[in-house]
A and B are shown apart, each in its own frame.
Chain A
Amino acid sequence: MTTTASGPPVQAPARRRTRRRTTDRGFNRAFRWIAVGSGVLMLAVLAAVALFLLVQAWPALTASEDDLAASVPRYPADTSLLAYVGPLVFGTLLAAALALALATPVAMGIALFISHYAPPKLAQVLGYLVDLLAAVPSVIYGLWGIFVLGPAVLPVWEWLGQVLGWFPLFAGTVSPTSRVLATVSVVLAVMILPIITAVSREVFLQTPKLHEEAALALGATRWEVVRTAVLPFGRSGVISAAMLGLGRALGETMAVLMILSPGFLYSFKILTSAQHQTIAAYIAADFPEASGLAVNTLVATGLVLFVITLAVNMGARAIVARRKEFSGAN
């Protein structure tokens, strides 16, 4: 008994070793190293970025309030760094959230139209056009926002200010320049539309035929098929898509910088100018003039943006994972 039991374990590793030697050659080995190397490289880059932010932000994080007030322009006296960054975080989140709220329903509508309603030829053309939106540089979006969209939506903003002025978002004086957070949000929404649409469309197209037929066979109309089979199946995919869009909206710099008339307040008045600023636009605007501790302060705000983006992504993953049992993956 003992001899037979101890026999195979001694031989087994030897056999496995010979097998590896015969098969793990040439491109197989190269491929393994490329794959592992790419993974490690990605982690290393991420770690390097995080480390850079931490090291460069450190002097600002540890500096006294007086030092900061002395060397950073527009830094109010007797304010902690956190209180200073607060309005920027607020502006960033507000702009991104508004953009997401505007873009997600539209993107889902377009994605459903392309995947389940449009005739195949039209669907192809539409899909291509939406992808083209993603190829427009953000400087162009900025110019478009200033010269075309701003004047075009001004009557809408004025109407909102008059009729819905009691609602916190539309309170205050409506800026006649239209260079306000509302306009920025619309531009951001257009910018994140392609990514949300593209990902949602792919997810909707992957709805198993079986599930759609199950709904159809129960006597579902086209919309009911979408509601019972397509949307539940695509739910986590759409959330991921929205988070990808949110990531872009949070970090978008150029268009915000060009359009928004900045301010540093905790304000919901998105139709009034000189109320908000986003972190990315703030860094881009102030970096050319900054030196010394001011640079460190800018990097510290960048670190905050990095943390926010990270938190958004982790939150999205948590939402996707929460209903895994019902996701159809099992």
Chain B
Amino acid sequence: MAQRIDVKDLNIYYGDFLAVQDVTMTIDPQSVTAFIGPSGCGKSTFLRTLNRMHEVIPGAAVEGTVEMEGVDLYGPDVDPVAVRRNVGMVFQRPNPFPTMSIRDNVLAGVKLNNRRISRSDAEELVEGSLRGANLWNEVKDRLDKPGSGLSGGQQQRLCIARAIAVKPQVLLMDEPCSALDPISTLAIEDLIGELKQDYTIVIVTHNMQQAARVSDRTAFFNIAGTGKPGRLIEMDETSTIFSSPAQKSTEDYVSGRFG
């Protein structure tokens, strides 16, 4: 299920503007990798290149390679739609489809991928995905109610259920807890710990304690100044990054001296 990602010499552009420069990293399967760094340093932008979501913005382009199990995601005959079916994503703000019931939200991705699914298979998948997202017990009696009626934390777990229902290899999370209260945050963090058995998880977070709690490896991004490109400063075991990082700027950031 889980797949490894190799990024080599990646430059990300928006038009002529170089947003992120020269990133090389390896993301291990069945692990949680956290991206930390100050606002605007390009960690979310970089995350979005891993499923080609940054291409939504006109003029976005990349140089370099992003390989998933040896296949370059930016190869000439790779369809971005196929990439996104393989790489799930959870966003900063919970975004269940407001016009769909909880059940239909979970099934939304599956219905895109292969239109017909038998009723019993659908029921099984809904239950499995909601259990996988630790939401089943809270919503099993109201699967036909709109997803937007849930609390923020439940909505975010619904979005995770929707993402894992299509059985992706990789799960990207762009600050998944920044709009949630501490208890919902804890629920999501526990869930991340369970999900890493099956998926490669990459999480962007502004919360350094969260990175320390949930991730196995941490990458620190920084930016030299406004208008300069973001760069990967260093990447290591999470415990190393938070105790004895190699770079001075990493130590300054994780100890709270700036940012």
A contact residues vs B (CB 8 Å cutoff) = 120, 208, 210-221, 224, 228-229, 232-233, 235, 323, 325-328, 330
For the complex, give the distance between the alpha carbons of A233 and B95 in Å. 13
- Shortest Cβ distance from B131 into chain A, in angstroms? 20
Label chain A's interface by main secondary structure: helix
Interface contact A217-B148, CB-CB below 8 Å? no
Which 7 A/B pairs are nearest by Cβ-Cβ distance? Answer: A328-B98, A219-B85, A232-B99, A218-B109, A217-B89, A210-B95, A219-B84
Chain B positions within 8 Å of A, measured between CB atoms, are: 51, 53, 56, 58, 81-86, 88-89, 91, 93, 95-101, 108-109, 112-113, 146, 148-149, 159, 162-163, 166
A325 to B101, CA, bound (A): 10
Let me know if A217 and B163 touch, CB within 8 A. Answer: yes
A318 to B166 alpha-carbon distance, docked (Å): 37
The residue on B at minimum CB distance from A328 is B98
The docked-state distance in angstroms from the alpha carbon of A56 to that of B8 is 82
Cβ-defined contact, B97 with A232, below 8 A: yes
- Please tell me if the beta carbons of B108 and A330 are within 8 angstroms of each other in the complex: no
Which of A228, A326, A327 makes the CB contact (< 8 A) with B108? A228
Distance between Cα atoms of A213 and B51 in the complex (Å)? 12
B98 touches A216 (CB 8 A): no
User: Are B91 and A214 in touch, CB under 8 angstroms?
Assistant: yes
Specify which chain A residues have a CB less than 8 angstroms from the CB of B146 in the assembled complex: 325-326, 330
The contact sample of 27 A-B pairs, CB cut-off 8 A, is A210-B91, A210-B93, A211-B95, A213-B56, A213-B95, A214-B96, A214-B159, A215-B108, A216-B53, A218-B88, A218-B162, A218-B163, A218-B166, A219-B81, A221-B112, A228-B97, A228-B112, A232-B98, A233-B99, A235-B99, A325-B146, A325-B149, A326-B146, A326-B148, A327-B99, A330-B146, A330-B149
Chain A proximity of B144: nearest CB distance (Å): 11
Known: A214-B95, A220-B81. A328 touches B112 (CB 8 A): no
Whole-angstrom distance between the Cβ of A112 and the nearest chain B Cβ: 17
Report which of A120, A217, A224, A330 forms a contact with B53, defined as CB distance below 8 A: A217
- Whose C-beta in chain A lies nearest to the C-beta of B82? A219
A211 touches B91 (CB 8 A): no
Q: Which residues of B contact A328 (CB under 8 A)?
A: 98-99, 148
Q: How far is the CA of A327 from the CA of B99 in the complex (A)?
A: 6
Residues of chain B within 8 A of A216, CB atoms compared = 53, 56, 84
Cβ–Cβ < 8 Å partners of B99 in chain A? 232-233, 235, 323, 326-328
Which chain A residues lie closer than 8 Å to B96 at the CB level? 214
Contact of B51 among A217, A232, A323 (CB under 8 A): A217
Closest residue of chain B to A218, judged by CB?
Answer: B109
Q: Please, which residue of chain A has its CB at the minimum distance from the CB of B92?
A: A210
Nearest-neighbor residue (CB-CB) of A329 within chain B: B98
